[in-house]
Amino acid sequence: MFEIKKPCQNCKSYVLKPKKKVELNLKDIVKNIEELSIEVLAFTGSMLSLRKKCKINIYNSGKIIVITKDLNQVHEIAKELENVIDIGKK
């Protein structure tokens, strides 16, 4: 469901982009992540900032930034977010 892209060699983050164009309802995502052990750091309306072992920024465009150098952690987070965000059904 997501394409994982590394923005640059020096950055310590990965970008997750949905394979098809979407617009996320971040309010629904906030409600859904309460079940997981993910901490909400900030919610601006167009961006949701989370923490679970690393910082995660979700934008209403569907783009997700995972700030970590650990690719395995990125795959783990992507899998969890796929269940919460449920882009495939939108």
Residue in the block written with tokens 């997750």: 16
| Mean pLDDT computed over 56-74 | 92
| Distance, first Cα to last Cα, the chain | 12
Please tell me the predicted confidence (pLDDT) of residue 88.
47
4-59 pLDDT, tens digit per residue, is 888 766 778 999 998 888 888 898 888 888 777 789 999 998 999 999 889 999 99
The predicted pLDDT at position 11 comes to 78
Q: Domain segments of the chain: what residues?
A: 2-89
90: confidence class by pLDDT, cuts 50, 70, 90: very low
Nearest-Å Rg of the Cα atoms of the chain is: 12
* Of 87 and 88, more confident: 87
Q: CATH fold of 2-89, please?
A: TATA-Binding Protein (3.30.310)
> What pTM value is reported for the model?
0.85
